[in-house]
Structure 1
């Protein structure tokens, strides 16, 4: 198991993981966030949220000098301290938001698929869907490389919709609350691998990576790290991982930030001393 004084790199989902599913609090995780900051361990937010949303959250979480991954891996935002990096300030994967919207609109018009995305509604409706305040909902609508959808049709039509998206170079992934449409091949796991590689290059040595997530859209992230914390989720979706070895995967019994804390308690020793 890793120690706090190892070269650790943490990747974490937000909703239902670091943030409580209902009230978005991270209080139970604050002790670990403080401890990780004291040991200069980067905590990389890895979320379906937009860069606009994460920027505000980073301030509150005191993680502002760390890159973050937004929109399920479509966007990697680099901090000012990475200003000399060739990708600064953004590394973007996949299709742009406007192109994604055009394809969704065309498929709905042709096949009468029953779904609504953030681009179809106003901030009040997004606030109702998410539980966010209207100002927060507007930040959630500032999309760059993905579109969250509420699906109202049946499972058969969902499969057809996914097939047509694939033909257009797009893919569909399941999040905690929404389906997300983005460029083919885009995932949290792809972004985690890229960013872990950049940390390794910049620091001159490998990092021990830990990932924490609760939803199906976190699976690629959890597969891409050395140690995976599968946080108990408020959903009935399966969370299978290819490598279920007990020294690599821990499944929590607690939800949200309580589970987040439980996972780090399991994997990280306080120091390298015996």
Structure 2
């Protein structure tokens, strides 16, 4: 995949975009197995053509998001990182270690060993282990370990033990959320929280959100149109309020293929509405 030229300019940023797309990555814009986005190229080109904004919203770190955002050609828009625990500003190219992550790891290590034993966070793993469980190359796994706001990990204990672990953390002010693959610990901010901040700043004409996992639900419900992207690698999300009215829809095809179809339909409708307004 070749990087897409960033065609942003200051003037474009001063105008409210006609459409702002908030998108999850793994299993949504990125293929679950290959992490590729090629199948969504047509829709991404269409979004650029109409001046739409694309805000990446993922459990990935800023270190992972920065090169991907540039590759996609949307570095001039902010991104939501680490499951909503942090925000990457437009054109920002570096996020270093933070006090949030250090405090999170300190609290995690205060959980009694008998309660914590089923959880292994990225901070407990080597780069090789992160690469193995994610399927990422070594360089990409190194970026995934550069946490600033949250701690994803795997739970290997019983369901009862997991509930006890989550409840213990909650008493410490730490929240735990299920994502596509991992149990992610943070201080509670969500993708929807950061989404609201971005919408308030840029005032887009319309909003759309796409995701496939439980940690995307609030984001899907916040957008004007929510799209549940099919992911055969995990149980489907339960029916959500708004599906009956069409405010939340589901794709038939998985990953970037389904993403491409859903976004193209919205861009086409946006173009039709513009023509109707001009000739109406």
Q: Provide Cα deviations, 1:19-46, integer angstroms capped at 9, x if missing partner.
A: 0000011111111111111221110000
1:130 to 134, 146, 160: 134
2:85 to 69, 74, 77: 74
Q: Provide Cα deviations, 1:71-91, integer angstroms capped at 9, x if missing partner.
A: 0111111124xx9xxxxx98x
1:203 is matched with none
Change (3 A) 1:110 1:95: farther
Task: Give the conservation status (yes or no) of the 8 Å contact 1:8–1:209.
Answer: yes
- Shift in Å, 1:198: 0.9
- Of the structure 1 ranges 122-131 and 111-120, higher mean CA displacement relative to structure 2 is found in 111-120
> 1:252 and 2:251 equivalent?
yes
Output aligned runs, 1:215-254, within 5 Å: 215-233=213-231, 234-236=233-235, 238-254=237-253
Task: Give the conservation status (yes or no) of the 8 Å contact 1:216–1:239.
Answer: no
Q: Provide Cα deviations, 1:84-113, integer angstroms capped at 9, x if missing partner.
A: xxxxx98xxx98111111122221525353
- Shift in Å, 1:237: 5.0
> 1:187 and 2:190 equivalent?
yes
2:171 is matched with 167
Q: What are structure 1's unaligned runs of at least 5 residues?
A: 84-88, 201-205
Matched positions, count = 255
Cα distance in 2 for residues equivalent to 1:108 and 1:168: 12
- Match of 1:264, SS? helix
Task: Give me the CA root mean square deviation.
Answer: 2.2
> 1:47 and 2:58 equivalent?
yes
- Match of 2:25, SS? coil
> 1:100 and 2:104 equivalent?
yes
Runs of at least 4 residues of structure 1 off by over 6 A? Answer: none
TM-score, with length taken from structure 2: 0.85
Change (3 A) 1:247 1:20: same
- Shift in Å, 1:156: 0.3
1:30 is matched with 41
1:198 to 177, 182, 201: 201
- Match of 1:22, SS? coil
1:146 to 134, 139, 150: 150
- Match of 1:273, SS? helix
- Shift in Å, 1:178: 0.6
- Match of 1:148, SS? strand
Change (3 A) 1:21 1:99: same
Task: Give the conservation status (yes or no) of the 8 Å contact 2:83–2:215.
Answer: yes
TM-score, with length taken from structure 1: 0.87
1:9 to 20, 33, 37: 20
Q: What are structure 2's unaligned runs of at least 5 residues?
A: 1-15
